[in-house]
Amino acid sequence: MIKIKRIYEKYSSDDGFRILIDRLWPRGVSKANAHVDLWLREIAPTDHLREWFSHDPKKWKSFKKKYKEELNENKSSLDKIRDLQKEHKTITLVFSAKDEQHNNAIVLGEVLHILLQS
């Protein structure tokens, strides 16, 4: 099972194995309080794509397409999450964006859902 959660939400043991999927560490969150089991920076959008998108909902469709292209070039990180999901059953993708509907975690979750079905 793949879950998605903002890092600013309260930690729960139901989260399972927590993976921070942002390139930058979230502001105002100590590593001790983050309850992050793995910081997988390399699965985050490139700096160029992240800065271009700038969480602008008008760019959402283009961002999704471009980020999926980046993910297709990053099979090793996707495989790592797939292997961790087999081991831990529940994986929570942790992100810091304020917009909970237009962010890299949503796209990554969609890609993983398809990958884990196959």
Mean pLDDT of 57-78: 96
Q: How many residues does the chain have?
A: 118
Indicate the domain borders of the chain: 2-117
Average pLDDT over every residue of 97-117? 93
Average pLDDT over every residue of 8-15:
93
Tokens at 32, concatenated: 């001790």
- How large is the average pLDDT for residues 77-106? 94
Q: Which structure tokens are listed for 13?
A: 């043991």
CB atoms within 10 A of CB 19: 26
Query: What pLDDT, on the 0 to 100 scale, is given for residue 100?
Result: 93
Per-residue pLDDT band for 115 (boundaries 50, 70, 90) equals confident
Torsion of CA 24, 115, 109, 102, to 10 degrees: 90
Token match 């959402």: residue? 60
CA distance 11 to 30: 13
What is the mean predicted confidence (pLDDT) over 7-36?
A: 94
